[in-house]
Chains A and B, each alone.
Chain A
Amino acid sequence: MSAAPPAGLPRGVAALARALDERALSSREATAALLAAIEAEQRRPDGLGAFLAVDAEGALAAADAADAARARGDSGPLAGVPIAHKDIFVTRGQPSTAGSRMLAGYRSPFDATVVARLGAGEPGGAPGAGTVCLGKLNCDEFAMGSANENSAFFPTRNPWDRSRVPGGSSGGSAAGVAAGLVAGATGTDTGGSIRQPAAFCGITGIKPTYGVCSRHGMIAFASSLDQAGPLGTSAEDCALLLSAMSGHDPRDATSAARPPQDYAAAMRAPRPGASAARPLQGVRIGLPAEFFPPGLAPDVAAAVRAALTELEKLGATLLDVSLPRTELSIPVYYIIAPAEASSNLSRFDGVRYGHRAARYADLADMYRKTRSEGFGAEVKRRIMIGTYVLSHGYYDAYYLQAQKLRRMIADDFRAAFARCDLIAGPVAPTVAWKLGAGADDPVQAYLADIFTLPASLAGLPGMSVPAGFGEGGLPVGLQLIGDYFAEGALLHAAHALQQATDWHARRPQ
């Protein structure tokens, strides 16, 4: 049985927005059709498990409001397009769990800035883009994981092969978009959590430069790395969602003070000297030797090489560059991210919100029992690592050393970008693995994040673009990394590739 959405419903944000513009269908029709598809999915014994919560009533009310706004002619650019949010973003009137028992039953008194901007707008602020929120999408607990199996509630399955993982931590977002249950979705990326699930599920995702999207209302994992971004069926979907969700936010001290960006326009803007047949004329794409190690799975290498050949045909020039500290990015990231997580997650103490243990001896015992009951194994592991590397006598050797290496990793990118405009390679060393395959040695699973961690540590924008299929017909993602704030150039290259190929248009059967 197919996971396809209702027949005839346009796929993706851009196509649905166009159909709504042309009055080919109403938002209520699109929303009702997707809600029915989500419900059918939830009844299957091998259901995808993409949603942690569905808000049918709220979605239909928002759809009616969008249809009315369109009829009046004062609607936002994405009015009535049904999407859903990773459950890392807090939402008023819907659960906000971060995939954790710690926050089961928690109700946020406010919407995350990204949620408000994509929806009805911020209170007292400019109107939002007008999307309809169908519900909250499954994710690894506190966004810690690469397979979505660390969700405290249930794992998400990959729509291309339901015995496999969708990637993580934005696994519900990627599976939902790939299966056509949502037109697009939000995600967050700390060390690859948008790019890797997008690759595993054969869709397009972009992690923008650190600071492009507000982190206000995004439940914090590692604050110097966390960044929000969209997942969609194409570069165009991502450009539309990113334009709506990005921009300066005084409520996030690390938000970049830049004017609003029109990424869809940047995506389409022709390059000087380019032609219709060679839209990427003059684009220099650097290939780090370290992204093509001997251990790279042959099917992934072949698919990535084929996508690079397409980019070359479109006018791009390929050249060799080096990111010599690619492998070191694994220990550097897994020191810094857990250190920040151990600090961020200290707020979960059973006092102001979230779980509190039922039985305890005193205050300290209440903290310990609350946290031990509320957090899952991976979260505890990272809190333990973070607490240790920040503790007296170990800070310099681990945390400070990692932050110095982080500078060296950023300097390596700077040297590479002196010679090229974009960097390309695989998103992950393999296609999606079987559910449960990583359970024996959770620390070994960290090694599979090798290609997404360097850009995260440097704060650079990175993208996952479908690049065909590997073993078992499973999708492979091409990673494109840009210089700081070069989201437009990334989307431009991805869009050019998607105009010339149809990998992104394939859907799971």
Chain B
Amino acid sequence: MALTHEDVRRIADLARLELQPAEQAALLGQLNGFFRIVERMSAVDTRGVEPLYTPLSALHEVAAPLREDAVTEVDERTANQASAPEVAAGLFLVPKVIE
């Protein structure tokens, strides 16, 4: 099943990307080429196989590590916001959402 221009537009919208017409045309061909490689994978019978989401769980059971619920970091707001595009009074500014 090949992707269409409409599919590419929909995926780009989900990914918050704005594609130029030339970019979109190139991507359509590339994505369809990619999913032809993927077809080989779909043919494998994987019934009853546990997915391997994190590699070390192939070796032993992996549990999420927990730590004490305690403050460990110092306040570095100024340093953390130094590279922000727009900041005022310690807040990140975004375009107005509610009119």
Residues of A near any B CB (own CB < 8 A): 105-107, 109, 209-211, 224-225, 250, 253-254, 256-257, 327-328, 330-332, 334-335, 342, 346, 349-356, 360, 362-364, 366-369, 371-372, 375, 377, 380-381, 383-385, 387-388, 391, 397-398, 400-408, 410-411, 414, 441-444, 446-447, 457-460, 484
Contacts and interface: CB of A to CB of B under 8 A. Distances in A.
A406 B34 contact: no
B95 A404 contact: no
Interface of B: 3, 7-8, 11-12, 14-19, 23, 27, 30-31, 33-34, 37-38, 40-42, 44, 46, 49-56, 58-59, 64-65, 67, 76, 79-86, 92, 94-97
Nearest to A105: B83
Contacts of B41: 328, 331-332, 335, 401-402, 405
Contacts of A408: 44, 46, 49
Given A372-B19, A397-B42, A401-B42, A406 B52 contact: yes
B31 A384 contact: yes
29 contacts: A211-B56, A257-B65, A327-B40, A331-B37, A332-B41, A334-B34, A335-B38, A351-B85, A351-B92, A356-B85, A367-B16, A368-B17, A371-B17, A380-B17, A388-B7, A391-B14, A400-B51, A401-B42, A404-B49, A405-B41, A405-B44, A405-B49, A407-B52, A410-B55, A441-B30, A441-B33, A442-B30, A459-B58, A460-B55
Contacts of A444: 33
A351 B95 CA distance: 10
Contact of A106 (B53, B83, B94): B83
Contact of A384 (B17, B49, B85): B17
Contacts of B76: 109
Nearest to A390: B14
Contacts of A342: 15
Given A372-B17, A403-B51, A414-B58, 8 more contacts: A250-B65, A351-B85, A354-B83, A355-B85, A371-B16, A387-B14, A401-B46, A404-B46
A356 B44 CA distance: 44
Given A353-B83, A407-B50, A443-B37, A372 B31 contact: no
B89 to A, nearest CB: 16
Given A371-B17, A391-B11, A408-B49, A254 B58 contact: no
Contacts of A406: 51-52
Given A107-B83, A366-B95, A384-B17, A224 B30 contact: no
Contacts of B67: 250
B4 to A, nearest CB: 12
A486 to B, nearest CB: 12
A225 B83 CA distance: 28
Contacts of A332: 41
A349 B16 contact: yes
Given A385-B31, A401-B46, A353 B84 contact: yes
